[in-house]
Chain A
Amino acid sequence: MNVMLPGSVPEALDMLASDCAAVPIAGGTDLLVHWPVRVEAHEQTYLDLSRLDPLKPLRWTADELMLGGLTTYWDVIRDARAGEEFPLLVHAARQVGAIQIQARGTWAGNVVNASPAADGVPVLMAYDAVVVLESRRGREEVPLDRFYSGYKEMKRRPDQLVVGIRLPRRRYSYQVFEKVGARRAQAIAKVGLAITRSGAGWRVVAASVAPTIRRCPAVERLLETGTAVASPEALLPAIAQDVAPIDDIRSSAQYRTRVMAWVLYHDLRDFWGKRA
């Protein structure tokens, strides 16, 4: 195992360009799980991002909140303005593992880990986040809801580093984040739902019910068009269009589908049948 220790972002980008197989490591909360017994991890070269200080803070501008490439969950939990303007970020952050994970885990790391069960990604996506990527070839910005192309596949080239995540500041008239896990803390989501409504429209984002975290356009359409929905079962066709849950070690497709229908139906009971 080798590790490269860049002292600045340009240096990191140079190193990444020179070794595209290098694995950038931030908080390490995903990468180091069972590290000693995962011998394949020991063959890799890592790029340590932990000293790239400019990437740590989150920044507020007039139009947006910019999470840095190394901003942690804890940074957001402690930011009073985030609690006011982007409460789902705080709700989600508080449900990531527990304090020890929240103190180390980064939003960007959650994005590039690309787990279909991620906690940070759904709320970022529901806030129309944009991923900011840097490489020696320049800057690129990709909306998060177009960032994933398949299971663990994303629009990040090996020489790119996520240096920030931008969230437009908006007035939200409705927002909720539901994480359905097997217990109240330290749980991987069986179903995750992040829902927002603003002048830009409805965003319904689902996790753990498809190979990638994704928006649910058919469900969003029901909300946008004010279609009457009389029961959870009435949502099943739209859900079937949007997601494809599976049976896995944590839960079953049947459960995930049913929970998604029930949570959507009940959380949005005030909105079904009402045009925006």
Chain B
Amino acid sequence: MLRPAGRHMSALSISFNINGSPVTLDVDPADRLLDTLRYQLALTGTKEGCGEGECGACTVYVDGLPVNSCLIPTYQVRGQRVETVESLDPGALEPFERCGATQCGACTPGVVMTAWWIRGHPELLGTHSIRELMAGNLCRCTGYDGIVDSVAEALGETGSGQGEP
């Protein structure tokens, strides 16, 4: 990837863990984690939908929590663990295939990241509904039932019971 010329730059050398592997990069203070992932690391699974933290298409995990990578300056993840959709096991995504969680696919990586995180924290369903937990992932195609059903199915697999539809 060609590094653009002509920017005001004070490059920072940042080391972090990406999908289980350590990496060290030169980044610009103005680089968002989303930009670094997509354009420097060629991890294009994470998408940009709005640039303002509304749509969730850019959702990744930083130290295990789902966050909008469009709102994180890359230098802030130094020393931290970053996980993107590329780190998920495709074999585990069968409920999402079956229940119609994806149509056009643009929101999907973000949706899957949030959904997978919910699946890993079933105790949250004691205080939250699936719909509330997914509200940071906008979808324009599915009307959300396919997504919510998929999460419920995935939770069902863990034996933690059903989320509310």
Interface string of A240-276 (1 = CB under 8 A from B): 0000000000000000000000000000000000000
Q: Are B30 and A101 in contact (CB under 8 A)?
A: no
Given A3-B10, A100-B67, A103-B66, 5 further pairs, Cβ under 8 A: A35-B70, A97-B136, A101-B71, A104-B72, A185-B135
Could you tell me which B residues sit within 8 Å of A by CB distance?
8, 10, 12, 28-30, 32, 35, 51-54, 56, 59, 65-68, 70-73, 75-76, 114, 128, 132-138
Q: Are A42 and B30 in contact (CB under 8 A)?
A: yes
Q: Are B51 and A35 in contact (CB under 8 A)?
A: yes
Interface string of A22-40 (1 = CB under 8 A from B): 0001011100111111000
- Does A20 touch B at the CB level, under 8 Å? no
- Does A186 touch B at the CB level, under 8 Å? yes
Q: Are A25 and B65 in contact (CB under 8 A)?
A: no
B-side contacts of A36, CB under 8 Å = 30, 32, 35, 51
Q: Which of the residues B56, B65, B73, B137 comes within 8 Å of A32, measured between beta carbons?
A: B73
Q: Are B73 and A28 in contact (CB under 8 A)?
A: yes
B-side contacts of A27, CB under 8 Å = 71
Q: Which of the residues A2, A28, A48, A99 comes within 8 Å of B71, measured between beta carbons?
A: A28
Q: Are B76 and A100 in contact (CB under 8 A)?
A: no
| Chain B residue, CB-CB nearest to A39 | B30
Q: Are B68 and A104 in contact (CB under 8 A)?
A: yes
Could you tell me which A residues sit within 8 Å of B by CB distance?
1-3, 5, 25, 27-29, 32-37, 41-42, 46, 48, 50, 74, 94, 97-101, 103-104, 184-186
Q: How far is the CA of A27 from the CA of B73 in the complex (A)?
A: 9
Q: Are A99 and B12 in contact (CB under 8 A)?
A: no
B-side contacts of A28, CB under 8 Å = 71-73, 76
Given A1-B8, A34-B52, check contact A100 B29 (CB 8 Å): no
